[in-house]
Every structure is written in C-alpha cells, then in structure tokens.
Amino acid sequence: MVGPDAERVERGRHDDPALEPARQLTDAVRELADIATAVRCEILTVEVADAFRPRYVPPSGRDGQ
C-alpha cells in the first residue's frame, strides 16, 4: 500500500486481534496464488519442451501406412 495511510495500516496490522482470520485468509490466498503461478510455469515448461521435441518420421517419409 502506498500513501499516508500505509504506515498506519502496517502499524495496525498487529493491533487488532479481530482481524486475524482475515489476515490468515489473505496469507492463504497469496500462498495459493504463488502455487498456481509455479504450476502454470511448470505446465508452460513442459509445453515448450514438447513443442521442440523431435518427431519420428519413418524413413519412407510417410506415416507408416
């Protein structure tokens, strides 16, 4: 957060125990977003690797029929 309220919000982050469930939920959502990003990166890595994998072409130049 940016602006004059940023310091007050950060300071208040630890002051109100009633907000703890919301903080836990926010942290969990951030963690899930990080996991989703990592999974998507892995999927893209596999897709790119698969795109550049050499394909078998039979010596006759046909598909084996």
Residue 52 CA to its chain's centroid (Å): 24
Query: How large is the average pLDDT for residues 10-23?
Result: 75
Listed by start position, the domains of the chain span 5-52
| CA 43/CA 37 separation, integer angstroms | 10
Residue with tokens 């998507």: 40
Asked if 23 contacts 15 with a C-beta cutoff of 8 angstroms, the reply is: no
| CA 50/CA 24 separation, integer angstroms | 39
pLDDT digits (tens, 9 = 90+) for 30-51: 999 999 999 999 998 888 888 8
Mean pLDDT of the chain: 79
> What pLDDT shows up at residue 2?
57
| CA 9/CA 7 separation, integer angstroms | 5
